[in-house]
Structure 1
Amino acid sequence: MVRRKKRSIWGSLIIIVLFALFYNIILGLALIACLIGIGYWWFKKKYLIRVSTINELMNLSPSEFERAIATLLTDLGYRDVKVTGGAGDLGRDITCRDMNGRTVMVQCKRYSRNHPVGSPEIQIFIGMLITEYKADRGIYVTTSYLTQPAMKLAHKHGIEVWDRDRLAD
């Protein structure tokens, strides 16, 4: 006849004692994990703005418009996307890096269709891009259009233009 091995109560007792001793730590770690999850959800809800039509873009406040463009840049693969706009932003609403690691400066203008962007605004953007920020690339985003001279100037200096038509795509 085969004898059964006697079970030791010590293994179970050690587990129960350890759990009792470290219960607060385990509970604290679970609480921290929950708070991190809630914080991430809140961050995405507050800072990531996705829109699907030009009319939705037009209904955003200027700061929400900048965040929507920052979200679009992130979705397109740009890295280190930071919204820097606001009063006194000196022509820079968003900074980021493209897929090749080059520094990109973005200017966002939420204008009505009847308010085209003129050459003076592009001149200011180019000047700040080159002298103040020394960025490798520039993107000018507007919910309107550029005048013909402004468009020529932007292309001459390698500024990528995202106008109303491009945003609608």
Structure 2
Amino acid sequence: MKSQLPTATATQFIMGQSALGAVMVAMGEGGIAAIMLGDDPEALHHTALDSFPGIHPVHGEMADRTLAAVQACIDTPWAPPDLKLTIQGTSFQQQVWQALRAIPCGTTTTYTELAARIGRPGAVRAVAGACAANRLAVVIPCHRVIRSDGSLSGYRWGVGRKQWLLERERAGMASGR
């Protein structure tokens, strides 16, 4: 059974490009509600409209600063700017996402280890589901979770992006950043 997310509160969105392709950032009064990645800006635009009814594009200095901060998170994940986030999900999802944010940059964990870390060792599939439901790409680093055999598993934004992020993080950490 899929968990239902609370009603979204984003009212504005920004579209742009990043090192990982198209990026859409959805924002509301509480902060950034979603960071979504993809190959097709038009598809991301439609995702924004479908995910957040009544959302509209925003332009200007604040939008430019927000997009630049998100791009910095992608480009330099070892030194991300402090972003104001609106993290929306069930209690379980939020517990998983908090544990994800505690995984050090440049390292990985498994779904099994993550389930144990939150005190729910039998909830491996539910942990994977919470990772898949994450709308905040990169800032909630579900890309740092791998299979028990060490291989990369699915990633909402594409396994190639997951691999790129992990390589970028490891390279940045190895160079002492």
Query: Is this a same-fold pair by TM over 0.5?
Result: no
**What TM-score results when the alignment is normalised by the length of structure 1?**
0.29
Larger radius of gyration: 1
The structure whose RCO (Cα within 8 Å, separation 6+) is larger is 2
**What TM-score results when the alignment is normalised by the length of structure 2?**
0.28
Which has a greater percent of helix? 1
